[in-house]
Chain A
Amino acid sequence: MMISVKDFSFSIGGKQILFDVAFDLPKGAYLSILGPNGAGKSTLLKCLLRLHEKGTAKGSILIDGKPLEGYSQKGLARLISYVPQAGGWIPPFTVQELSKLSRFPYISGLSGLTKKDVEAVDRALETTGLTAMRDRPLKTLSGGERQKAFLAAAVAQETPIMLLDEPASFLDPHHTSEMEKLLIRLNQEQGLSMIAVTHDLNHPAKTKGLALILRKGRVMYFGDVPGLLGKGVLEEAFDHQFVYLENPKSGLPVILAE
């Protein structure tokens, strides 16, 4: 599943938010979208999910060469799953019920879940380590566990592409690291293409993936992490100075804000 964004511009209510965004994402890539607040990261993510109906788009977003508008709602849901930002509305469901809802794109008409659907849900809960918590209502979980439940629901959707809106914000270091490991595993072992909006500048290095840096709605950088370091890109994007170190344990680059 290759995603290709071509000269994509987007405006809402006369205010232009994205300007000629263009990039090609190969199958199985892990893309982190970075940028200062208000740069248009979430808008780009929502456009990729086709969640923005109010607004005018120019240019195109193609998945496997087919424009996004060409997919039916369920067809798109079989291609792209979505993990919302933590800290939003908590649905009144249990962990397992939330994952079961993700099987909607595979259900036709009034029929219920098939054996295949139930197995997919079970697998998703196992992958995310939530099998023991399956019957717990989301409201009774900690923030970290709940975010994992949303991830499990996206996994249960069995899509080749997963989109995440700040998957690890509001989580403590332990849960952040657990979440990251899960996402990396999904990408590297199961071959899912991931696109994550994040404020964590070190996320792309940890995922060994690509970074896209937005500033004022324009792409400032698109490429791998080594190409990003020490070239003043981050400094210009965030209007701030950074220090570049190396993690003595993992050998990965670490970016610190001064």
Chain B
Amino acid sequence: MGTSLKIAILIVLGLVIFVVSPFFGLETISPASLLKGLDPGDADVFWKMRVPRAVAAFLAGAGLSLSGMVFQALFRNPLATPFTLGVSSGASFGASMYFFLGGSALASLGGVGPLFASLFGAGLSVAMVWLITSAKGGFSTVIMLLAGVVINFFFSSLVLFVQYLSDSNDSLRIMHWLMGSLSGLDTPRLADLAFVVLAGFVAIRLIAQEIDLLTAGEELAASRGVKVNRVKLIIFITASVVVGSVVSLAGPIGFVGLMVPHACRLILGWSHRILIPAVFFVGGAFLVLCDLVSRIILAPAEIPIGIITSMLGGPFFLWTLFKSQKTGDLF
């Protein structure tokens, strides 16, 4: 099958999922009734809740998948994701601090408070990974991954500590949010997320060829004319800002950044010129689908979307690990 046909199929599938998703939920809304004109109650549910939610899920999925993809190319390791590098837990720490201090100092920030808090946390964790690795001289992949693991633990325990200090109300909010959920969606903030994710997409697309070369190895990339450190910096900043924004809105939704890039590479190969739009699109559609499942599988109850992705992601992670041990190399 040709690459263009594969891409066409992925786009059609993704569009179908995106368009169909808002019709399902606690009550199914039929396309026919949408065309005839919905009654005000259904119209509110459809246009003010389900459509924004599908958009949010799409943006979150696209952003997390893109970030995973660039981290994997940078570290030449399929297990490098916003989570394994500690970016998500940094962002989570930032957001839980916001919930903890929510009533006081940070409240003046209003709706963008959680965003700034998450970005601050994500930035903090990236800065720490950066400092640890550069202190060891050079950007060794092994050291960077290990630093990510350590920072992950560090921030996870800080989140637990914040939870411990919080009253039961805040603690519950933090816990629910940590599961990763799109249920308490703050619709006005969708525009911020859209801006960040689309800007991230453009930034990454602009360095597609450099990312290809980085995949071939840093020395090789430099000898082919890539300004390696600058590209690394762009990747780090872009991915951290995107992950921070997604986490601030939807909590740490795990494993998307692992599964989607991997699946796309299996289907489409390694050229990032093709991979970047594919990962963006498939990642978005995948999370819309997961969100749909999370809304209907135990209806009327709704499970946090992070639980769905983790249930899929855990086995996938193990499969990647076993496969990589068998073939002796990670990709």
Contact = CB atoms under 8 A, between A and B. Distances in A.
A49 B222 contact: yes
Contacts, number: 69
A107 B209 contact: yes
A110 B206 contact: yes
A101 B137 contact: no
A92 B331 contact: yes
B324 to A, nearest CB: 12
Interface residues of B, number: 26
Interface in B211-241: 212-213, 215-217, 219-220, 222-227, 229
Given A51-B223, A102-B224, A84 B217 contact: yes
Most buried by A among B76, B217, B219: B219
B270 A80 contact: no
A90 B215 CA distance: 10
Nearest to B207: A110
Nearest to B208: A110
B138 interface: yes
Contact of A77 (B209, B212, B225, B270): B225
B167 interface: no
Contacts of B270: 92-93, 97
A89 B76 contact: yes
B39 interface: no
A254 interface: no
Given A13-B137, A73-B227, A97-B270, A92 B222 contact: no
Interface string A97-126: 110011011010010100000000000000
Contact of A104 (B206, B226, B331): B226
Interface of B: 76, 137-138, 206, 209-210, 212-213, 215-217, 219-220, 222-227, 229, 265, 270-271, 273, 329, 331
30 contacts: A12-B137, A46-B219, A49-B223, A51-B219, A51-B222, A53-B229, A54-B138, A73-B225, A73-B227, A77-B223, A77-B224, A80-B223, A82-B223, A84-B219, A88-B217, A89-B217, A91-B215, A91-B216, A91-B217, A92-B215, A92-B270, A93-B215, A93-B270, A97-B270, A97-B271, A101-B212, A104-B224, A104-B225, A105-B225, A157-B224
